[in-house]
Structure 1
Amino acid sequence: MVTLAERLDEMTRPGELYEKLEDGAVRCYACAHRCLIKPGRRGICQVRFNADGELRVPWGYVAALQVDPIEKKPFSHVLPGADALTFGMLGCDFHCSYCQNWLTSQTLRDPQAGIDPDYILRITPEKLVEYALRNGAQAVVSSYNEPLITSEWAVDVFRLAKLRGLLCAYVSNGNATPEVLDYLRPYVDAYKVDLKTMQDRQYRKLGGVLQHVLDTIRRAHDMGFWVEVVTLVVPGFNDSPEELWEAARFLASVSPDIPWHVTAFHPDYKMTDPPPTSARTLLQAAEIGQEAGLHFVYAGNLPGRVGSLEDTRCPQCGETVVARRGYIVTDYRLTAEGNCPRCGTHIPGIWHTDPQQVRLHGWGYPRPVR
């Protein structure tokens, strides 16, 4: 019987995000770990490996593929109400103890993780883009696993998607390098980063380094990606007012226009002791973000329980320009130029050029592609 590792290794191609070193070793720079990989060995992600001095990288398959609202990513300033074709592969360069996608992200690392090799769908970039268009999607998003470690595949998909007028986005842990951001910039419009904690000690428990993520947020913004940031607020892990203030101040120092999503935790994977995040905690976190000077702060995962913090409001006059409940857009009032209809203030983001075509409803739940 073919193992999952054997099946994955079949679905690879030569990488582009690496350099060759002496004695057949390679240095991968798809993520900030910059793994030194000797022949026959794998990187931290387990899915990029050295075969006789050549870095092999994932290509030509998906382990998850579905159409769902772009609000679920979450993006609140990117084509509200649009559907996105979201695809994912396997593997991750982090090992977060509360990962909701651990069965796919921790493949080949955790013996409890992984999926049946026959579940993996071999597919081409052309077919993925065809699915997106057939299902009425306006965006194609790489998510579910960490997209940085499968960037060569994503770029091949996005290159075709952009030719067909689709927006392209990453949902990432932000453990990037300058090289991979340069590689992605011609193809990726929007980049969502998880800012998990402001404590480097806690980040290292998850497999990362705080400064690498902070550098990614600043660099991606400066390079012109549309950046939104999510902090999953975990009781006892990163929910102190002091830490939330530190995160909010950092984001405001990059740009007060970066949307900050503070979202509710629920027990999962190896982190089952903390209780679910309360609406009160999210409201307090959002208030901190606003007081720190951020113009757009959202509270997520608790639809209907966080007041107006699901909506986009004009920072100048307070007008609600996009109203939401969960993943559903209930009202869209921005002009074709992305301006507030009341005072004319421009709201930063990637907006619909024809507001009359905005769908004022959402699926709310993923649906399979057709």
Structure 2
Amino acid sequence: MKTLEELLDEHTQPARFYEKLEDGAVSCWSCAHRCLIKPGRRGICGVRFNRDGEFRAPWGYVAAAQVDPIEKKPFNHVFPGSNALTFGMLGCDFHCDFCQNWVSSQALRDPTARMVHETIQPATPDGLVAAARRYDADLIVSSYNEPLITAEWAQDIFIRAQAAGLRCAMVSNGNATPEVLRELRPVLSAYKVDLKCMRDRQYRQLGGMLQHVLDTIQMAHEMGLWVEVVTLVIPGMNDSNEELWDAARFLVSVSRDIPWHVTAFHPDYKHTDAPPTSAAALKRASEIGQEAGLNYVYAGNLPGRVGSLEDTYCPACNQLLVQRRGYVIQKYNLTAQGACPNCGAKIPGVWTDHPEDVRINGWGMPRAVRT
């Protein structure tokens, strides 16, 4: 039986996001690790490798593909009520012990995650776009593992999706480079970043650096991408008032209009000692975000237990604009111009110009996609 590495290496193409160096080595810039990779070696992610001077990147398969509500990503200011065909590959450039997609992200590091052999499906960009149209999706999203390390594959899908009239988004850890963001910007509408904590020591234990993630949020916003930020609030790790204030103040310094999702942790993977996040903790984090000056703060993963913190309000007049319960839209009041119907204030986001078509109380279970 082939090893997982051997199987994945069959699903690769020559990479594009790198710089050639002497003696066949390359400097990869698909993520901020900027791995120096000599012939016969792999990057930190494990899926980008140098084969005798030819640098190769994942291409041509999915480990998961399904139709989800866009709110599950979570994006609250991107086509509410829409279907999103979400696809993912394997691997990650971080190794978070609390990862809630660890079977996909840690498959190349952790033998207990190697059950994923059977989930690998050959795929093509055209096939995924056709599936999105077949399942009435308005967006295609790269998620489940870290999309930056498979960015060439995502870019090829997004080019075809955009030509078919679909919007494209990434759900990322934010460990990006200016080069990869510039490459992806023409085909991306939205970029969600997981801001895991505000302590560099903690970030280094996860496999990254805090400043790289903060820089990515700033760069993506300045490039005109619609950016939403998620912080998984983990009791005892990143839930102190001080750290939550640091996160909120940073986001305010970039833009008061960046939606900040504070979401509930559940014990998973190797982080099983901490208790699940309470609704009270999410409300406290949300109050900190609002007091810091953010216009849009959302508490997630505990539907019906956080009151109005699932909903979108106009920051100018406090009119209810979008009412949610979990991933379901219950009311949608934005105009076709993406404005408040009461005071006319423009609401930042990526909105439909056909509000009458927004799916109200209409979401069912996620649907697996065969490509």
Give the % identical residues: 70
Q: By how many angstroms is 1:114 displaced?
A: 2.2
Which residue of the partner structure matches residue 170 of structure 1?
A: 170
Q: How does 1:89-108 map to 2 (within 5 A)?
A: 89-108=89-108
With normalisation by structure 1, the TM-score equals: 0.99
Q: Does 1:349 align with 2:371?
A: no
Q: Does 1:205 align with 2:201?
A: no
> Quick check: 1:57–1:152 contact (8 Å CA) kept in 2?
yes
- 1:314: which partner in 2? 314
* 2:37 alignment partner in structure 1: 37
> Shift of residue 119 of structure 1?
2.5
Aligned to 2:236: 236
Q: Which whole-Å CA distance do the structure 1 matches of 2:191 and 2:253 have between them?
A: 18
**Residue identity in the other structure for 1:13:** Q
Asked if residue 268 in structure 1 is aligned to residue 273 in structure 2, the reply is no
Aligned-residue Cα RMSD (Å) equals 0.9
Q: Please name the residue that 1:121 is paired with.
A: 121
> Whole-Å Cα distance in 1 between the matches of residues 91 and 114 of structure 2?
9
Regions of 4+ moved over 2 Å? 114-119, 361-365
Corresponding residue for residue 138 of structure 2: 138
Deviation per residue, 1:87-122 (Å, 9 max, x gap): 000000000000011111012112222234343100
| C-alpha distance 362-38 of structure 1, shift in aligned 2 (>3 A) | farther
Alpha-carbon distance between aligned partners in 2 of 1:270 and 1:324, rounded to the nearest angstrom? 32
| Count of residue correspondences | 370
Q: Provide, for residues 233-280 of structure 1, a one-character-per-residue CA deviation record: whole Å limited to 9, x for no partner.
A: 000000000000010000000000000000000000000000000000
1:57 aligns with 2:57: yes
Match of 1:305 in 2: 305
Code of the aligned partner of 1:205: Q
**Aligned-partner Cα distance in 1 for 2:116–2:280:** 41
1:151 matched residue in structure 2: 151
Shift of 1:54: 1.5
Letter in 2 for 1:315: P
Bigger mean CA deviation after superposition, 24-33 or 110-119: 110-119
Instruction: Give 5+ residue unaligned stretches, structure 1.
Output: none
Task: Measure the CA separation in 1 of the matches of 2:111 and 2:200.
Answer: 27
Q: Runs of 5+ in structure 2 lacking a partner?
A: none
Structure 1 residue aligned with 2:16: 16
What TM-score do the two structures reach when normalised by structure 2?
A: 0.98
The answer for the alignment partner of 1:218 in structure 2 is 218
Cα deviations by residue, 1:193-219 (Å, 9 ceiling, x for unpaired) = 000000000001110100000000000
- Equivalent residue number for residue 192 of structure 1: 192
1:326–1:364: 8 Å Cα contact kept in structure 2?
A: no
**Structure 2 residue aligned with 1:245:** 245
Change (3 A) 1:91 1:137: same
